[in-house]
């Protein structure tokens, strides 16, 4: 039979283990390091390459929609335009580049759409502001 003293000792031991070694360190609980613009551009390019974007867009040549380089030349490479273009990628749109509507991509996350926009905005060589 287990004595009350043994149970108390085990309980105390478990509490000490979880309170001393169970908490996460500062580095484990902090957010992951931010990716560089170059890394985001690379991820964005992969997302664009693996999407249906190339049906209507090309990096340098106009197809149905403007080339991605034309988009980069029209808009400054800043956070405001990254968010705006990501919104257009997700919601679609018409009127800015003519009357042919851009197909919406509602299943795309805001984060991925922003990475795609970062890639597109990088194509004219402008640095991110």
pLDDT tens per residue, range 104-123 = 999 999 999 999 999 999 99
**In contact, 118 and 40? CB cutoff 8 Å:** yes
Distance CA 103, CA 86 (A): 13
Within a domain: 67: yes
DSSP-assigned states of every residue in 91-119: H-B-SSS-SSPBPP-TTS-HHHHHHHHHH
Tell me which of 39 and 29 has the higher pLDDT: 39
The string of pLDDT tens digits covering residues 45-55 is 999 999 999 99
Backbone angles phi, psi at 100, to 5 degrees: -75, 120
Residue 7 lies in a domain: no
Residue 86 sits in a domain whose CATH number is 1.10.760.10
- The residue to which tokens 């509507």 are assigned: 101
Within-domain flag for 90 = yes
Query: Which pLDDT score, from 0 to 100, does residue 30 have?
Result: 67
pLDDT of 67 > 50? The answer is: yes
* Structural contact between residues 121 and 72, judged by C-beta atoms closer than 8 angstroms: yes
pLDDT of residue 33: 84
Whether residue 19 lies inside any domain: the answer is: no
Residue 88's domain comprises: 37-94+101-122
Length of the chain: 129
Whether 27 maps to a domain, the answer reads: no
Q: In the structure, what pLDDT confidence band is assigned to residue 95 with cuts at 50, 70 and 90?
A: confident
How many Cβ atoms are within 10 Å of 112's Cβ, its own excluded?
A: 18
pTM of the complete model: 0.75
Total count of domains within the chain: 1
């Amino acid at each position: 039979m287990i004595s009350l003293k043994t149970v108390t000792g085990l309980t105390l031991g478990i509490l000490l283990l979880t309170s001393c070694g169970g908490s996460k360190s500062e580095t484990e609980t902090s957010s992951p390091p931010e990716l560089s613009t170059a890394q985001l551009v690379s991820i964005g390019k992969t997302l664009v390459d693996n999407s249906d974007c190339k049906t209507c867009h090309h990096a340098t040549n106009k197809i149905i929609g403007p080339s991605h380089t034309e988009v980069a030349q029209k808009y400054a490479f800043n956070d405001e335009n990254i968010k705006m273009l990501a919104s257009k990628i997700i919601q679609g749109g018409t009127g800015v580049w003519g009357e042919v509507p851009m197909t919406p991509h509602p299943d795309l996350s805001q984060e991925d759409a922003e990475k795609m926009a970062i890639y597109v905005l990088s194509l004219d060589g402008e640095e991110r502001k």
